[in-house]
Amino acid sequence: MKNRCTAPMWVAKAGYIVMSLVFCGAGALFIAKPELSSLVISRVLGAAMVVFGVIKLVGYFSKDLFRLAFQYDLGFGLLLIALGVLVLARPAGVLDFIFIALGIAILADGLFKVQIAMDSKRFGISTWWLTLLLAIVAGMVGLALVFRPWNSARLLTVLLGAALLAEGVLNLCVAVSTVKIVDHQRPEVIEVTSFVVDDL
């Protein structure tokens, strides 16, 4: 029997890592330069969400060995693509929507990653506690982004940057620790050997 093609798994894992670093970079940029215009913020986030959504879909259908990192990525990938397209289509005047939508998305992702951390513990992955801790932090920052405790645009941009940074670090940890690719993975089929029993 032929081994399963691992190319989609490598694409998904590499994409996860790259996009996690992009989110970290965008978060650091928003924290360092909170005076950025809403148009720039919208375009950066819209493009990043679309690309990451596509990578999540690739990950979901790649069927890596543990099936931990990508198990919830079908719906979440479609959600990110939809949000990204909406933001890119209307980049001006949607900053309030971005805060709420992205905050809900990060909160939901944090909750999903809590489940992934618990599953990782059962799989014997030693860094499960780090995933759990980062998931809780990301979820809390996402929740803060939804309720927006400040009215200052600069402070909200810093909070947005912190949320993106937390989400990026969380996804990077999950991709590195739970996505295992084995070159000799077999397709998921059960081999049945047929035989004939002669009548006595």
Angle between helices 95-123 and 128-147 (to 10 degrees): 160
Q: For residue 189, what pLDDT is reported?
A: 45
Distance (Å, whole) CA 159 – CA 67: 32
Q: What is the DSSP letter of 65?
A: S
Angle between helices 153-178 and 95-123 (to 10 degrees): 30
Mean pLDDT over the full length of the chain: 82
Tokens linked to 133 = 């801790």
Residue range 63-98, pLDDT digits in tens:
765 667 778 888 888 988 998 898 888 876 677 788
Tokens linked to 23 = 């989110």
Binning pLDDT at 50, 70 and 90, where does residue 200 land?
Answer: very low
Distance (Å, whole) CA 69 – CA 12: 10
